[in-house]
Amino acid sequence: MHPLKLVETAPGKYSLLLNAGSTEADEVIEELGHEPNGYFWEGIARLVVQDEAPALAGRFGYDPEGGMFCAYGTDRAALEELGARMGALASDPERTRELVTAAEEAGFEFDD
């Protein structure tokens, strides 16, 4: 899950957090013309759910900011799975490059 972290914000309520600009993939993201901010990582999360883990759809919400990605909800297992999948991307610049390139070729627009 690293560099993401899962915190319990209240009993039974969780937030999955990523400090934007703190990943091994940041340089590649910038090379591809994007800002590695919270909004960009929301796009990555949506792609992961859409393409790799559709069973996660609707099980949490998103609340990114410029400096932070945040997904939140009461389904800890869903957030843990998203965190594991996103952590793998955040620590693998080439996999991130492949995902972003394929998404853009398919017409996906990142909101960064």
pLDDT band at 1 (very low <50, low <70, confident <90, very high): confident
Listed by start position, the domains of the chain span 6-99
- The one-letter code for the residue type at 83 is G
6-99, which class in CATH?
Answer: alpha beta
Return the pLDDT at 73.
98
Measure Cα distances from 41 to 10, 11, 12, 30, 95 in Å. Answer: 24, 26, 24, 13, 14
The predicted model scores a pTM of: 0.94
Return the pLDDT at 111.
87
Return the pLDDT at 56.
98
